[in-house]
């Protein structure tokens, strides 16, 4: 490689700098502001960012818009990045790939994690898929510069790579709402699947069993760009001509929609497909946003009353309030007591054991 790590920097076993473009957008640890890095204009900042725990954005708008300091500030459509190293290593530790393991990666991206997997399992044992041919080509060049040569495929990652199965491990680097059963089918019994499950914004580590099911527990928080064919909600958007229905509520949105990993896991089981987001507003207020299929709700507490605005066929606020009460009646279990099963029939959240699957209440 032409690049040499400056004195004072400790490169990883597969050097991250080989996978970062000369110009990119960096999101450092949460206490610091995002910023532009340019290797030619400020090499010290570029190197220090690359070897820090920063997310580095390398593509926007699926490559249709050039990534510049101006364009990245005005788009929400971030489509490729090099994940923060601490999160990457958490995923790899949960996956447990070892020399000789056959590994399937969904989402090649920059190629860095494919290189790390190849370092662990061997180049000839790693298959990495990306749906974007331009990204795959860039990853191939990056990997070659780092001295690694896993097999790269261009296709929909949801299909997996049946011609190379069975795999000992499946490493998923994109957010997934509905886990494709093809990944389970292509993993040998005892194999592992580690992925970001967007219903909870958490890592789930699944073990595949001989009966064709996969089960596992939830781990740390994470946020990843979605698998492309799952970017849109499964039931579509709220119809634009739907009318808002206003009402007032006695339920406290801070209690019902505030941060609680255990409650969020419970809601994912009993109200699949419903997303709930809560945030503080000006003057000490609070707002909750709910979305599910063709329905939407906004709940605002201004300190004097709780105003509910709902649109679509379902009354999401009432459903979420009832599910919250059911969680409380169950003993308000924490996230550590929940897990996920994937079968040919779909996916189910369970409490304490896979035999105690939560049943949808709608």
Q: Phi and psi for 327 in degrees, rounded to 5?
A: -60, -45
Rounded alpha-carbon distances, angstroms, from residue 106 to 174, 319, 353: 7, 35, 28
Catalytic residue among 83, 128, 275, 341: 83
Q: If you count them, how many residues does the chain have?
A: 362
Tracing tokens 């590994």 back to the chain, one arrives at: 103
Give CA–CA dist 77/85, Å, rounded: 22
CB atoms within 10 A of CB 176: 23
260: which 2 tokens?
A: 């609680």
Rounded alpha-carbon distances, angstroms, from residue 68 to 41, 151, 170: 14, 31, 33
Can you list the alpha helix ranges (DSSP code H) found in 41-108? 43-50, 69-73, 85-95
- Sequence-separated (6 or more) residues with CB below 8 Å from residue 283: 302, 303
- Sequence-separated (6 or more) residues with CB below 8 Å from residue 189: 208, 209, 210
- Return the CA Rg of the chain: 22
**Contact of 41 with 24, CB cutoff 8 Å:** no
Give CA–CA dist 24/139, Å, rounded: 15
Query: Catalytic annotation on 341?
Result: no
Tracing tokens 């990944």 back to the chain, one arrives at: 183
Catalytic residues: 83
């Amino acid at each position: 490689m032409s690049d040499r790590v400056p004195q004072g920097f400790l490169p990883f076993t597969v050097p991250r700098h080989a996978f970062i473009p000369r110009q990119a957008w960096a999101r450092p640890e949460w206490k610091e502001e995002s910023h532009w890095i340019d290797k030619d204009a400020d090499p010290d900042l570029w190197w220090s960012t690359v070897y820090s725990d920063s997310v580095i954005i390398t593509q926007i708008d699926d490559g249709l818009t050039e990534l510049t300091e101006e364009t990245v500030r005005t788009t929400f459509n971030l489509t490729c990045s090099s994940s923060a190293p601490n999160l990457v290593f958490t995923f790899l530790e949960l996956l447990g790939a070892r020399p000789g393991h056959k590994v399937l990666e969904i989402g090649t991206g920059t190629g860095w994690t494919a290189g790390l997997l190849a370092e662990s399992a061997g180049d000839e044992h790693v298959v990495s898929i990306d749906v974007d041919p331009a990204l795959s080509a860039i990853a191939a060049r990056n990997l070659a510069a780092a001295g690694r040569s896993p097999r790269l495929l261009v296709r929909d990652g949801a299909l997996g790579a049946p011609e190379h199965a069975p795999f000992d491990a499946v490493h998923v680097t994109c957010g997934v709402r509905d886990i494709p059963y093809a990944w389970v089918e292509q993993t040998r019994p005892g194999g592992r699947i580690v992925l970001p499950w967007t219903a909870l914004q958490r890592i789930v580590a699944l073990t595949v069993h001989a009966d064709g099911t996969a089960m596992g527990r939830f781990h740390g928080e994470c946020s990843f760009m979605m698998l492309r064919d799952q970017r849109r909600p499964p039931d579509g958007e709220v119809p634009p001509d739907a009318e808002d229905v206003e009402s007032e509520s006695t339920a406290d949105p801070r209690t019902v929609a505030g941060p609680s990993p255990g409650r969020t896991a419970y809601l994912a089981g009993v109200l699949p497909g419903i997303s709930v987001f809560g945030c503080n507003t000006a003057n000490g207020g609070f707002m909750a946003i709910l979305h599910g299929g063709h329905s939407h709700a906004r709940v605002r507490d201004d300190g004097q009353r709780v105003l509910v605005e709902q649109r679509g066929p379902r009354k999401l606020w009432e459903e979420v309030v009832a599910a919250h009460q059911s969680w409380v009646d169950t003993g308000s279990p924490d996230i550590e007591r929940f897990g996920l099963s994937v079968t040919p029939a779909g996916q189910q959240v369970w409490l304490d054991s896979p035999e105690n699957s939560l049943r949808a209440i709608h």
